[in-house]
Chains A and B, each alone.
Chain A
Amino acid sequence: MAGRRAARRKEPPPAPVTPGPPAPPRRAHLWRGVTPWLFLAAPLALLLTFTYAPIVNMVAYSFTDWDGVSPELHYTGAGNYTELLTRPELFEVFFVSGYYLAASVLQIVAALYFATILSFNVRFRNFFKGVLFFPYLINGVAIGFVFLYFFQDGGTLDSVLSVFGVHTDHAWLGTPTSANISLAGVSVWRYTGLNFVLFLGAIQSIPGELYEAAELDGANRWHQFRYIIAPGIKPVLSLTVILSISGSLSVFEIPYIMTGGATGTETFVIQTVKLAFQFNKTGLASAAAVVLLLIVLAATWVQRRLVPDDRVDLV
């Protein structure tokens, strides 16, 4: 805001309509070059300070043996990276991401389904939109605690099931498989709303007369989805898939708060946090974070290769 106001004050006065002495062309040219940067100054400063500077720092730490607090740190070259790559057990935790990857397929399908339905005229559609988006607004820590009670022995889930006559004696977070499925379920609950809103926005940007025309041609709802909606939202769909994959590789909050990575629910980020804060190997943890960044970038790149981003042209 501040940057914007400053920019406006410095703008040159509007050129007089009546012939007079022409504005000095060089200064006008200069201002035209500077103005966009003035607008960008604040966001760029924030971006550099809070995104790129920490990354540069992290990369720098990954070449040291820093423990996170000691004033002494030594340059160790690629030592941390060699250690990471020679310890395959550090990468075993990526199997856990498989659960979240599977869950995100479910999540995208559900979000797409609800977005399609609620983009047509349905009773209480705004209410349902709110209901679906609501979980995304809740703080992740709160969600973690709520679901701890939910999965507790005799907790919400067990009581709800017993209403339907199902009396499970199941410790939901008790075995690795069940715990990971439960946690992935929480993740679906939390993020479906976000995907749903993205899809809904994309669907509503499709011109309404296309549906009318399609209906005149005898297309049913499925045909409309298959030939109008699906191709119309392809860019958003592929963005969501990218977000889901990178999200599945870097799951953190929900398992960290609910199980702390116990019972086979440890993800790569939890492992990195533990290296940094439990074992005070900040250098090694930074290297692990860099490796994760590279893996996510690689996954995105491969995906963009496989599914090129064509321009959508419905009309």
Chain B
Amino acid sequence: MNRRTIPALLTAGLLLSACTGTGGTSEGADAKAPDDPSKVTGTIKVLTVRTDLVQDGTLKKYADDFRKTYPKVKVEFEGLTNYEAEVKIRMNTENYGDVLLIPAVIKKSDYPKFFASLGTQAERAKKYRFTDYTTVDGKVYGQSPVGVAPGFLYNKRIWREAGITDWPTTPAGFLTALKAIKAKTDADPYYTNFAAQWPLTSWTSVNGSVGCDTGATTKLVESDPWAEGADLRVGDTLLYDIVHDGLAEKDPTTTNWEASKPRMAKGEIATQWLGTWAIVQFQDAAEKAGVDPADIGFMPFPAQVDGEFCAVVGPDYNQGVNVHSKHKEAARAWIDWFTDKSGYAEDNLAISPLKDAPLPEVLQPYEEAGVKFIEVDDTAGAQLKLIDTESEVGLYAPDYRQDLVDLARGARKGSLDDFLGDLGKRWTEAQRSVGSS
């Protein structure tokens, strides 16, 4: 290659890559709900993360039910194991299914470029929860079929054996409880699931539970999340203390997520910080292991405001309609039906996205204990993502919590204060540079 061809190739590459963007033609399109179910036609493809439900035919049963109302619509499913990465690449083309789960990587401001609108927020918020998570300029672009609340899954039998019957109300009380479990039972008091990585990211969802504040996300955007008393500092300090006091599993680096489910059901593990979505999986594991599924309990984060626990209810993945879909009505019909009528939320013991639906039975102890359910306002969600990527802290990535666990068990040098201080410094610097641009 001589000297002149290199810049020529470079320019060609730049031009090519500039062309990969989708044109602006269909931007801002609407997926309207069909008026007459019998007239909607088309074959739609639904992308999902639930490969297990694709394989065991559960989703097909939903589709068959759906056909009873919409006889001319055919629904096909495509399960993706590595959802985020695969969908992200496919979204560089126009061919990414008709209905898909909105990947976390898409900037909120880009939603109108990729998804068709499901209606205005003013109208949808009357019926559905979580609308502000996908609202851009007053229009909603997605709807989660289930709501989840973070919390500790625990083995009730083990906790009872350790002599603890009441939920701890402070992080210190929680640590005392774990110490009692360590002293009186053979179980690992806490299991980090360090190697599976993503379970550590759920520690970010303590946000809102600690201070019982619906403006918690806005606070993340405006102030230092690791300042003294801030939600994430309280959560991360608890995680640090659990590991530092030897209350977690012996070797976090070789944990095994699938194996952790039966182990917890059998009482070899006492506690894990996950979410309501996990309850059904752990109960299944208990049944398969031949132990009582009723031993799987669920408790809120050990913090109270005015004597009340708080549970933050948030959406799971939001379903959206591909803006390039040729069957937007059919796709919209599927989302509405799946959210309202399929029974998917009840089947998963999850919180329904419908505002007037009752709470699932597993959360009855919550109702009895008077746990307050709150929804965190997500208006600042887009800004939060910007700061998160700019700072490379990664609130929804496992890295910094893995480092935190390493720090706590002495595999990494430093003090907790310095560690959290450094995170705060990177965060506030990114706040400044994102705000100024």
Contact = CB atoms under 8 A, between A and B. Distances in A.
**Are A and B associated in one complex?**
yes
B254 interface: yes
A66 B88 CA distance: 13
A57 B16 contact: yes
B406 A262 contact: yes
Interface string B183-211: 00000000000110100000000000000
Interface in B13-30: 13-14, 16-18, 20-22
B364 interface: no
A253 interface: no
Interface residues of A, number: 41
Most B C-beta atoms less than 10 A away, residue of A64, A151, A173: A173
Contacts of B35: none
B253 A263 contact: yes
Contacts of A259: 195, 253
A61 B17 contact: yes
B61 interface: no
A69 B106 contact: yes
11 contacts: A60-B16, A69-B91, A69-B92, A70-B106, A71-B22, A72-B110, A152-B251, A173-B251, A263-B402, A277-B88, A279-B394
A70 B389 CA distance: 14
Given A57-B13, A71-B21, A264-B412, A280 B253 contact: no
B85 interface: yes
B300 to A, nearest CB: 29
Interface in B234-288: 250-254
Given A153-B251, A260-B197, A263-B402, A279 B389 contact: yes
A220 interface: no
A100 interface: no
A12 interface: no
Interface size bracket, B side: 35 or more
B316 interface: no
A275 B397 CA distance: 11
A263 B406 contact: yes
B312 to A, nearest CB: 24
A262 B194 CA distance: 9
Contacts, number: 112
A91 to B, nearest CB: 15
B10 A59 contact: yes
A278 B385 CA distance: 12
A56 B13 contact: yes
B392 interface: yes
A148 B17 CA distance: 39
A274 B85 CA distance: 12
Nearest to A70: B110
Given A60-B13, A72-B21, A75-B14, A174 B251 contact: yes
A275 B106 CA distance: 15
Interface of B: 9-10, 12-14, 16-18, 20-22, 84-85, 88, 91-92, 103, 105-107, 110, 113, 194-195, 197, 250-254, 389, 392, 394, 397-399, 402-403, 406, 409, 411-412
A68 interface: yes
Contacts of A63: 14
Given A60-B14, A153-B254, A71 B399 contact: no
B47 to A, nearest CB: 15
| CB-CB nearest 6 A-B residue pairs | A71-B21, A60-B13, A173-B253, A171-B251, A153-B251, A262-B402
A234 B110 CA distance: 57
A176 interface: yes
A73 B20 CA distance: 10
A89 to B, nearest CB: 10
A151 B195 CA distance: 13
A280 B389 contact: yes
A224 B264 CA distance: 62
Interface of A: 56-57, 59-61, 63-64, 66-73, 75, 148, 151-153, 155, 171-176, 179, 259-264, 274-275, 277-281
A60 B17 contact: yes
Contacts of B91: 69
Given A173-B254, A262-B194, A67 B105 contact: yes
B381 to A, nearest CB: 15
A71 B254 CA distance: 40
A45 to B, nearest CB: 17
Contacts of B110: 69-72
B254 A56 contact: no
Most A C-beta atoms less than 10 A away, residue of B21, B110, B253: B253
Given A171-B251, A280-B105, 11 more contacts: A70-B21, A72-B21, A153-B251, A171-B250, A174-B411, A176-B412, A260-B398, A262-B197, A262-B402, A275-B392, A278-B399
A69 B254 contact: no
A73 B194 CA distance: 36
A256 to B, nearest CB: 11
A261 B106 CA distance: 25
Given A263-B411, A280-B389, A73 B253 contact: no
Contacts of B409: 174
A36 B325 CA distance: 47
Nearest to A182: B253
A56 B107 contact: no
Contact of B113 (A57, A71, A179): A71
Contact of A175 (B106, B394, B411): B411
Contacts of B399: 261-262, 274, 278
Contacts of A261: 399
B10 A60 contact: yes
Contact of A148 (B194, B254, B403): B254
A279 B399 CA distance: 11
B88 A179 contact: no
A279 B392 contact: yes
Contacts of B22: 71
Contacts of B92: 69
B132 to A, nearest CB: 22
